[in-house]
Chains A and B, each alone.
Chain A
Amino acid sequence: MSEENSSLKHNESDADEYWKANLKLMGWLLVVWFVVSYGCGILFVDELNSISLGGFKLGFWFAQQGAIYVFVALIFVYVKKMNKLDREFGVEEE
């Protein structure tokens, strides 16, 4: 009985840690998500536009091309890291 309880406790704190790790990863990825779109594409677009990338102004490029490429990359990074996290904590599906 007491053993069962302690294993339950152990699981709970594990679940907590898993959740915290998940939130941390999510937080970082969302920072990047915000910076490339709202940051480079809108808030600082004028500053970035003074730099050119081929025939593009850089801010314009982020708003109409770059942000989208980064979004795609972000999801795949998330998938990869979460799969690893799932395995580490042994919470992946059978």
Chain B
Amino acid sequence: MTFDIDFLQRILATIFKAMPLTLLLAFLSCIGASLVGFALETLRRTGRWQGYLLRFVIDALRSTPILVQIYFLYFVLPYYGVVLPGPVIGVLAMSLYYASYLAEVFKAGIDSVPRGQTEAAMAVGLSPLDVTLRVVAPQMLRNIAAPMGNYFVSILKSTPYLAVIGVAEMMGTTLEIASDTFRYAEPMILLGIVFLVLCSIIAWLVRRLEARLMANTRR
């Protein structure tokens, strides 16, 4: 392997150019996964049969690889006439897959809020939706900030899968350079370093956020 500083610079420039899209896709997927996950877990609690059904949906999502789910959405939706651009498919797939994991996090979170809170809120006449969104959710978030943050890092680390459906995120653009130049080693190593740094920064932010929230609970 010859050391070529120009080549490395070109790769880095390409990776950084694709970084905003990567972060945007990850960010949208975080929001999507949180909303769907919370909806799944809230609906799961509304009754016995909903409980069985949604538990099954959650477990089914967890039992298949995200790559296969991406392929499924990408190839099957157009067959039924629903043609969506790659990035939209990507956000959709990551939102659904990680919703199944976040639903479990929300389960622990909702359980961590004392029952008395729900009962008191119902006693003063709040609607079930208000009880969930205004009483339980805010108290729950503090307890689950850390695991939620960890899954957000996981979502960022899943963005490379979108390269397989042609999304021009960091992995996709790096692979393009690699296949143009027939040199895979340097681009892959640099991409690994960029991801490592990016994920470490976010993981560090999550730890800090957790520490702050914990400090607040101690009073």
Chains A and B bind each other = no
